[in-house]
């Protein structure tokens, strides 16, 4: 079974703090993704990575950065947290096979910025 | 722009059948996914359609019509554990997933 883990299920931070969200997958997947999920909206892609040290902007990268130093780990960084970044953050990974590429999700981190 | 539409919420009775619709307008099409997401949990993969027609997997079936930009997820013999949100997602020409907002399905005894 694919296992995607995220460092925290719940996190509370203050405005202006630097926040690190960690994601680890154990299936040697090439692709990794960070989404945020807000009520009434679909999953929105923040950043993704197709290889180690490689990153691509998604639909809403502003205010975020990422790091992929090792294949199994993909980190999301909020440089200076703001209240509008309060959300559920979901990490996903996939093998990387084009059109049949199923994404597998971690349990999510519910971040509250006060 | 790219758009995925699905109903916000549906209610059904235990033991019954429910159909959740999804319509899409995307730049290109490389398949449509359905995911199930229980409250507070991660989405889990249910089905993938890339060709027109019906794919059956136990109590769940998924249908696709590419010419109409339309899919549905059919759930039979509903159980209380089927109460969840169902997410429709389309893979576009860049192999990026475009997500619908999800349909919250409420099952009543």
What are B53-88's pLDDT values in tens digits? 999 999 999 999 999 999 999 999 999 999 999 999
Please tell me the predicted confidence (pLDDT) of residue B2.
Answer: 84
Q: In what order do the strands lie in the sheet with B53-57?
A: B3-5, B18-25, B70-75, B60-65, B53-57
* Residue A98 at interface with chain B, using a CB cutoff of 8 Å: yes
- Residue A22 burial (10 A CB sphere; 0-12, 13-18, 19+): middle
Please tell me the predicted confidence (pLDDT) of residue A86.
Answer: 97
Please tell me the predicted confidence (pLDDT) of residue A98.
Answer: 64
Decide if A42 and B41 are in contact by the 8 Å CB cutoff: no
For residue B36, the SS3 value is strand
Cα dist. B2→A34, A41, A97, B8, B26 in Å? 20, 14, 23, 18, 5
- Residue B54 burial (10 A CB sphere; 0-12, 13-18, 19+): exposed
Calculate what percentage of chain A has a pLDDT beyond 90: 82
Please tell me the predicted confidence (pLDDT) of residue A41.
Answer: 87
Please count the other Cβ atoms lying within 10 Å of the Cβ belonging to residue A27.
Answer: 13
Please count the other Cβ atoms lying within 10 Å of the Cβ belonging to residue A57.
Answer: 13
Q: Calculate Rg over the CA atoms of chain B.
A: 13
Which residues of chain B are within 8 Å of residue A90 when distances are taken between CB atoms? 42-43
Please tell me the predicted confidence (pLDDT) of residue A97.
Answer: 67
B29, closest residue in chain A (CA to CA): A99
User: Which of A42, A100, A105 lies nearest to residue B31, judging by beta carbons?
Assistant: A100
- Asked if pLDDT for residue A93 goes beyond 60, the answer is yes
Please tell me the predicted confidence (pLDDT) of residue B93.
Answer: 87
Q: If you ran DSSP here, which 8-state letter would residue B38 be given?
A: -
User: Which of A42, A44, A90 lies nearest to residue B42, judging by beta carbons?
Assistant: A90
């Amino acid at each position: 079974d694919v296992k995607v883990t995220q460092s925290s299920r719940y996190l509370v931070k203050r405005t202006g703090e630097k926040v690190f969200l960690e994601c680890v997958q154990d299936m040697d997947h090439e692709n990794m993704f960070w989404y945020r999920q807000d009520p009434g909206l679909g999953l929105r892609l923040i950043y993704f990575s197709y290889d180690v040290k490689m990153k691509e902007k998604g639909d809403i990268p502003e205010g975020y950065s990422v790091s992929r130093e090792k294949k199994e780990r993909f980190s999301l960084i909020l440089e200076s947290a703001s209240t509008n970044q309060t959300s559920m953050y979901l990490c996903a990974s996939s093998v990387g096979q084009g059109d049949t590429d199923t994404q597998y999700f971690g349990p999510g981190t519910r971040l509250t910025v006060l | 722009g790219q758009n995925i539409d699905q109903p916000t919420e549906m209610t059904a009775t235990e033991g019954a059948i429910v159909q959740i619709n999804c319509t899409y307008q995307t730049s290109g099409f490389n398949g449509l996914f359905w995911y199930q997401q229980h409250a507070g949990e991660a989405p889990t993969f249910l089905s993938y359609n890339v060709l027109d027609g019906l794919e059956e997997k136990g109590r769940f079936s998924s249908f696709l019509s590419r010419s109409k930009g339309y899919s549905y997820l059919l759930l039979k013999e509903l159980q209380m554990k089927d109460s969840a949100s169902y997410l429709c997602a389309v893979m576009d020409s860049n192999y990026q997933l475009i997500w619908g907002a999800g349909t919250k399905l409420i099952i009543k005894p």
